Amino acid sequence: MKRAFDLLAATVGLIVLAAPMLALWLAVRITSPGPGLYWSQRVGKGSALFPMPKFRTMRIDTPEVATHLLDNPDRWLTPVGPLMRKLSLDELPQLWSVLVGHMSLVGPRPALFNQDDLIAARKAAGVDVLRPGVTGWAQINGRDELTIPDKVALDAEYLRRRSFLFDLKVLVSTVVPVLTAKGVTR
């Protein structure tokens, strides 16, 4: 049922959001050199790597590390990057990853390929059996403000509690943090 819901929601989302996504892509292209989309290597189910699309919010010469590890991350942002990140608009292309089966609407947020500490902690907690999500339990309970142990504890709680109704709760609860940019540090 989860996969069927993911397929339906991703298909409808991509159709309904096609025009706004084209406008966002153009905004990135017009305001900074480089592609409108950035394909990031992420860790998926079973620790397998997959390419995850995002609207590019960082300059093309930005080091490929988690934003919080950059020295002065704001200097790497494109002109439209701060707004796109604040409203999580950069995440919309991930509906493609849901459609092709690399991600789910709800699950642990996918780690960067080089976030060894997070990947190891998730594997130790058994969380790596899940498809990563566009949103997740940890996302609505702290987002960027969480430490890795806290994030993994919430991911493990999601693993224990997962159900269609719990996924719906997470999806509905995602709206307020996204609209208010709660928990977003960059």
* 30 pLDDT higher than 90: yes
Mean pLDDT over 179-183 rounds to 59
Nearest by Cα to 154 from 164, 144, 166, 146: 146
Q: Which two tokens stand for residue 91?
A: 């995440």
pLDDT at 183 over 90: no
Query: Sign of torsion, CA 84 88 94 99?
Result: negative
Look up the pTM and report it. Answer: 0.88
Q: pLDDT for 117-132, tens place per residue? A: 999 999 999 999 999 9
Phi-psi region of 76 (alpha: psi -120 to 50; beta: other; left: phi over 0): alpha
Phi then psi dihedrals of residue 79, to 5 deg: -55, -35
Rounded percentage of the chain residues whose pLDDT exceeds 70: 95
Q: Report whether 55 contacts 84 (CB < 8 A).
A: yes
Q: Where are the domains of the chain?
A: 2-180
Backbone angles phi, psi at 14, to 5 degrees: -65, -35
Q: Could you give phi then psi for residue 129, rounded to 5 degrees?
A: -80, -10
